[in-house]
């Protein structure tokens, strides 16, 4: 019998415990149980920390503490997930970046009651890349995410499998989040509809002072910003450039290098991390550099835009790693152009605004089934969306579209925020296929989006989850 290629593992450092293939029958349907529940984990000595987490089964029981689930799937396989809401409030599961039918997308209207179950079942049509899942209930997303609900989905495909890239323990998924941990070792969520939530404690895969022992070799690091509001300006402590091979929706056409990379909430970046210059005993740190965000920045001691270390990589084993960075990576990045869009003459323009203290998009806040006339793209058509961040408060907003990925083709600055722009603009990765991108204060971006597979109701919103919950979110309807 043909066996499923997918495995289920747990994000730990260096270990991906996989199940026997017999647990995953039949081939090409990945059948899982997923439960959202309250749990505890040992984060600091003393009292355990209460977390809300996704538990995937079947899985090795010993692997259940302290880690995010990661689901491995191959493009074209079916994910068949029986979800149980073990929380005391409604929740839904949104498959961030996966192109799924509207009824499977975790829309707030489809939230599952406490104790209820729902079967999410869809084909994974996406390119190889790093995707994720998180809750999406009406006005409760920020709190549930800050309590710990998140997981990763790693998609592979033939093109990606044929490349010589770091594999197995040298392919690591790292979820970066900030928390506010109080004196009793508990996560504290502080609601702030404008500023959002910024915690002073940086965790990677739920580990504080994150560190990983590495070989003197090249690693593929899949970095996911699972924070509610915090933006990272990623760089290496030893000054080596950041070599990027992939973004939200898969590999770039070719690697690029940057002195730093911006990673806003919801975004992913895949980094070629070359530790071959280290000797045993040596260390390099992934850090976030200082930048000027604009807007409210207060973060209980660690402000938005402050500099800090994220994670240390300690060389413990000397090896000879002959791997070379592939000169080309993927032919699958869509070549959308502004001129090729069907609405080139009359693009869809979506301003951000702040009205009576509440952020809006397209001149309104979220209405559960509300869709405006200019929020109806057509299936299969390449269309321009223009987003204008002229909102007061002068904040950057991480914009996210559900459904198919997009290309950011133009960024136009108002000129009113030169310091903010100068401190971030070299870190954008617009050469790849994206589903989330940071829109700077005073900036207008033009992107091209093409709904590839499904008509129906989808969301677009700010991925600063406090903004999303307070209504900086809208529906769009893909017309058949
Ligand atoms: Cu990751 Cu609608 O969100
Ligand atoms: Cu999404
Ligand atoms: Cu926002």
Ligand nearest the Cα of residue 467 is 3
Answer whether 152's CB lies under 8 Å from 71's CB.
yes
Question: Which residue reads 């002068």 in tokens?
Answer: 394
Q: Is the CB of 145 under 6 A from ligand 1?
A: no
Distance 230 CA to ligand 2 centre (A): 17
| Ligand 1 binding pocket includes 94 (Cβ within 6 Å) | yes
Closest CA relative to residue 146, chosen from 156, 134, 158, 138: 134
459 lines ligand 1 (CB under 6 A): yes
DSSP 194: T
- SS3 call for 466: helix
Secondary structure (DSSP) of 383-396? EEEEEEE--TT---
The region, left, alpha or beta by phi > 0 then psi within -120 to 50, assigned to residue 422 is alpha
Q: Judge if the beta carbon of residue 174 lies within 6 A of ligand 1.
A: no
Going by alpha carbons, the residue nearest to atom 3 of ligand 1 is 96
Ranges in the chain, pLDDT < 70: 1-27, 59-67
Query: Which numbered ligand comes closest to the C-alpha of 398?
Result: 3
Ligand 2 centroid – CA 185 distance (Å) = 30
The pLDDT of residue 29 is 87
pLDDT at 240: 97
264 by Cβ neighbours in 10 Å (0-12 / 13-18 / 19+) ranks as buried
Nearest atom of ligand 1 to the alpha carbon of 402: 2
CATH number of 348-478: 2.60.40.420
What integer pLDDT is reported at residue 30 of this predicted model?
A: 86
Contacts of 387 (CB under 8 A, 6+ apart): 350, 351, 352, 399, 439, 444, 445, 447
pLDDT at residue number 28:
83
Tell me if residue 37 falls in helix, strand or coil. Answer: strand
| CATH class of the domain at 168-317 | mainly beta
Nearest protein Cα to ligand 1, atom 1: 96
- Residues of each domain in the chain carrying CATH 2.60.40.420: 29-161, 168-317, 348-478
Are the C-beta atoms of residues 78 and 30 closer than 8 Å to each other?
yes
Q: What is the pLDDT of residue 27?
A: 62
239 Cα: distance to centroid of ligand 1 (angstroms): 33
How far, in Å, from the CA of 471 to the mean position of ligand 3?
10
Select 29-161's CATH number: 3.40.640.10, 3.90.320.10, 1.10.1740.10, 2.60.40.420: 2.60.40.420
Q: What are the counts of helices (DSSP H) followed by strands (DSSP E) for the chain?
A: 4, 30
Query: Which ligand 1 atom is at minimum distance from the Cα of 134?
Result: 1
CA 463–ligand 1 middle distance (angstroms): 6
Tell me: the pLDDT tens digits for 345-369?
999 999 999 999 999 999 999 999 9
H or E stretch at 460 = strand 456-462
| The predicted structure's pLDDT at residue 3 | 35
Q: What is the pLDDT of residue 16?
A: 33
* Amino acid 392: pLDDT: 78
**Phi/psi zone of residue 253: left (φ > 0), alpha (ψ -120 to 50 degrees), beta?**
alpha
Q: 183, 258, 271, 175: which is closest to 221 by C-alpha?
A: 271
Q: What is the pLDDT of residues 72-130, one digit of tens each?
A: 899 999 999 999 999 999 999 999 999 999 999 999 999 999 999 999 999 999 999 99
| Whole-structure pTM value | 0.94
How many angstroms does the Cα of residue 473 sit away from the middle of ligand 1? 10
Tell the burial category of 413 from Cβ atoms under 10 Å away from its Cβ (0-12, 13-18, 19+): middle
The upper half-sphere exposure of residue 395, i.e. CA atoms within 13 Å in the direction of its Cβ, equals 25
Residue 399 Cα distances to 15, 245, 265, 302, 462, angstroms = 33, 22, 9, 23, 5
133 CA distance to ligand 1 middle (Å): 8
Residue 268 CB–ligand 1 contact under 6 Å: no
């Amino acid at each position: 019998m043909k066996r499923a290629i997918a495995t289920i593992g747990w994000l730990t450092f260096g270990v991906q415990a996989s199940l026997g293939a017999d647990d995953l029958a039949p081939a090409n349907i990945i059948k899982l149980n997923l439960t959202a529940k309250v749990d505890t984990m040992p984060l600091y000595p003393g009292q355990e920390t209460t977390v809300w987490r996704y538990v995937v089964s079947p899985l090795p029981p010993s692997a259940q503490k302290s880690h995010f689930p990661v689901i491995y799937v191959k493009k074209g396989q079916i994910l068949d997930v029986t979800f149980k809401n073990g929380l005391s409030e409604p929740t839904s599961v949104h498959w961030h970046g996966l192109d799924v039918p509207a009824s499977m997308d975790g829309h707030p209207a489809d939230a599952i009651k406490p104790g209820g179950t729902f079967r999410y079942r869809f084909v994974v049509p996406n390119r190889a890349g790093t995707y994720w899942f998180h809750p999406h209930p009406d006005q409760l997303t920020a709190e549930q995410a800050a309590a710990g609900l998140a997981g990763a989905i790693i998609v592979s495909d033939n093109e990606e499998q044929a490349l010589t890239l770091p594999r197995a323990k040298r392919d690591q998924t790292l979820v970066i989040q900030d928390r506010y941990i109080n004196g009793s070792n508990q996560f504290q969520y502080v609601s702030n509809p404008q500023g959002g939530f910024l915690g002073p404690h940086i965790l990677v895969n739920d580990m504080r002072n994150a560190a990983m022992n590495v070989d003197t070799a090249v690693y593929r690091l899949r970095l996911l910003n699972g924070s509610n509001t915090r933006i990272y300006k990623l760089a290496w402590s030893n000054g080596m450039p950041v070599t990027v091979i992939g973004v939200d929706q898969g590999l770039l056409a070719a690697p690029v290098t940057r002195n730093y990379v911006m990673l806003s909430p919801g975004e992913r970046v895949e980094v070629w991390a070359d530790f071959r210059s280290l000797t045993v005993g040596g260390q390099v740190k992934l850090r976030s550099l200082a930048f000027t965000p604009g807007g409210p920045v207060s973060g209980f001691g660690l402000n938005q835009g402050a500099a800090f270390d994220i994670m240390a990589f300690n060389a413990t084993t000397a090896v000879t790693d002959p791997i070379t960075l592939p000169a080309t990576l993927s032919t699958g990045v869509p070549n959308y152009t502004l001129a090729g869009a069907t609405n080139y003459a009359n693009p869809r323009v979506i301003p951000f605004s702040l009205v009576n203290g509440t952020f809006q998009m397209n001149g309104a806040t979220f209405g559960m089934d509300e869709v405006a006339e200019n929020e109806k793209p057509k299936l299969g058509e390449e269309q321009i969306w223009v987003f204008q961040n002229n909102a007061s408060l002068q904040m950057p907003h991480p914009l996210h579209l559900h459904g198919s990925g997009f290309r950011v083709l133009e960024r136009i600055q108002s000129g009113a925020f030169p310091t903010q722009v100068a401190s971030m603009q070299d870190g954008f990765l617009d050469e790849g296929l994206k589903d989330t991108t940071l829109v700077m204060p005073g900036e207008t971006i033009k992107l091209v989006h093409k709904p590839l597979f499904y008509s129906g109701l989808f969301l677009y919103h700010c991925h600063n989850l406090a903004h999303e919950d307070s209504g900086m979110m809208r529906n769009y309807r893909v017309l058949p």
